């Protein structure tokens, strides 16, 4: 399949593998649940599909509104400034009952990471924000008001930070925090960071706070359930995740949805519901060449599955 160049400078991780699994064709109706800079959408459109693109970030939707496919009559690119967990209700309101494929690229986009003013990264100093939707509680709001035990729980649960209580106490002692640089310095000092170490210890805390502020894991659980609701029999699902917490959720969802979870041979056979997904892939990892070209790809995992004709389970 020939894919036209993406008008964005950002190319999604594992794009060719994900698009191959989605197998878009002329006339298909597909969902790009995480539009971002539009890499998956570009490939799906070039294959002749109509794409319903979701993104809670108004900047992403604003950029996509300039694409010519969004101005066709009828449009082949339909934009929704909504959370992807809402896709079933949003598509129903648009008169779409079922779709042929759903692509999900979980987590923060490269576009957001590269904009210091969005406050997602500490590579350049910026406001302590981290909100994908640019609305609601910011990272600064949370860190400057929450008690240290609540902050520690977030750091441990979402960042797997072993010294979460030490870091949380340091954050509370340094309040108010207003920039990403200030937060990074507090975390580094609390953990005894030495310049030149292979990994900046602030990485885990930034990940945890971002996941909390955007309720990303709850969104993923609800989004997978929504994809199950909207995919037709034979519809394809492709999900790219970037760390173990996300991949664990995707793997468990697909295991349960495909009724492939094994039990003990010493126990009575458990009753399982009919499979709503089949042909569940093992985790697909980026090639060495892709990692060399894009170091952010190194932690990515793609999982794919095919929707069966069984009715969807109750929504999450």
pLDDT at 266 > cutoff 50: no
Same domain membership, residue 222 and residue 208: no
Nearest partner of 88 among 98, 103, 75, judged by Cα: 98
CATH number of the domain within which 61 lies? 3.40.50.150
Measured in degrees and rounded to the nearest 5, phi and psi for residue 26 equal -55, 125
Q: Is residue 129 part of a domain?
A: no
Q: Is residue 58 part of a domain?
A: yes
Nearest partner of 189 among 206, 174, 207, judged by Cα: 174
**Domain boundary residue, one of 213, 245, 262:** 213
pTM equals 0.88
Task: Give the 3-state secondary structure of residue 201.
Answer: coil
CA distance 92 to 309: 19
Same domain membership, residue 81 and residue 224: yes
Same domain membership, residue 58 and residue 201: no
Q: Which residues of 258-281 are buried (b: 16+ CB within 10 A; e: fewer)?
A: bbeeeeeeeeeeeeeeebbbeebe
- In the numeric block, the tokens 């990994």 are attached to 199
Same domain membership, residue 238 and residue 203: no
Same domain membership, residue 294 and residue 224: yes
| pLDDT tens-digit readout, 135-171 | 899 999 999 999 999 999 999 999 999 999 999 999 9
pLDDT at 26 > cutoff 70: yes
Same domain membership, residue 163 and residue 106: no
Q: Is residue 312 part of a domain?
A: no
Same domain membership, residue 244 and residue 95: yes
Which residue blocks in the chain are alpha helix, DSSP H? 15-22, 39-46, 58-64, 87-93, 110-113, 139-145, 148-159, 164-173, 180-191, 202-213, 216-230, 244-257, 288-293
Over residues 252-275, the mean pLDDT reads 69
pLDDT at 5 > cutoff 60: no
Same domain membership, residue 34 and residue 105: yes
Q: Is residue 5 part of a domain?
A: no
Over residues 71-90, the mean pLDDT reads 96
Same domain membership, residue 101 and residue 20: yes
Instruction: Give me the pLDDT at residue 220, please.
Output: 97
Same domain membership, residue 239 and residue 104: yes
Task: Give the 3-state secondary structure of residue 256.
Answer: helix
Domain tally for the chain? 2
The DSSP output letter for 80 is: E
**Domain boundary residue, one of 193, 213, 233:** 213
Strands 99-105 and 77-80: unpaired
Q: How many CA atoms lie within 13 A of 140 on its CB side?
A: 15
**Domain boundary residue, one of 167, 195, 213:** 213
CATH number of the domain within which 154 lies? 1.10.150.170
**Domain of 169?**
134-213
């Amino acid at each position: 399949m020939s894919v036209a160049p993406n008008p964005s400078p950002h190319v999604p991780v594992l794009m060719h593998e994900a698009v191959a699994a989605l197998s878009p064709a002329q006339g298909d109706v597909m969902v790009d649940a995480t539009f971002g800079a539009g890499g998956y959408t570009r490939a799906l459109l070039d294959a002749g599909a109509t794409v319903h693109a979701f993104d809670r970030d108004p900047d992403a939707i604003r950029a996509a509104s300039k694409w010519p496919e969004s101005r066709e009559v009828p449009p082949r690119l339909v934009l929704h400034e909504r959370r992807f967990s809402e896709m079933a209700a949003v598509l129903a309101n648009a008169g779409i009952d079922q779709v042929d494929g759903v692509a999900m690229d979980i987590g923060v986009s490269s576009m957001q990471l590269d904009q210091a003013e969005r406050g997602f990264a500490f590579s350049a100093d910026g406001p302590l924000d981290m909100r994908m939707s640019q609305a609601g509680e910011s990272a600064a709001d949370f860190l400057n008001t929450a008690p240290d035990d609540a902050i520690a729980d977030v750091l441990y649960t979402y960042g797997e930070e072993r010294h979460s209580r030490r870091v949380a106490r340091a954050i509370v002692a340094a309040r108010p925090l207003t920039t990403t640089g200030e937060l990074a310095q507090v975390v580094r000092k609390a953990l005894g960071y030495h310049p030149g170490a292979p990994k900046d210890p602030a990485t885990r805390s930034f990940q945890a706070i971002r996941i909390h502020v955007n309720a990303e894991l709850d969104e993923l659980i609800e989004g997978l359930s929504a994809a199950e609701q909207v995919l037709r029999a034979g519809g394809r699902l492709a999900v790219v995740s970037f760390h173990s917490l996300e991949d664990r959720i995707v793997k468990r969802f697909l295991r349960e949805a495909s009724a492939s979870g094994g039990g003990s041979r010493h126990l009575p056979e458990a009753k399982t519901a009919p499979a709503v997904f089949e042909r569940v892939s093992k985790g697909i990892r980026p090639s060495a060449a892709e990692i060399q070209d894009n170091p952010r790809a190194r932690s990515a995992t793609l999982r794919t599955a095919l929707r069966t004709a069984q009715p969807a389970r109750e929504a999450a």
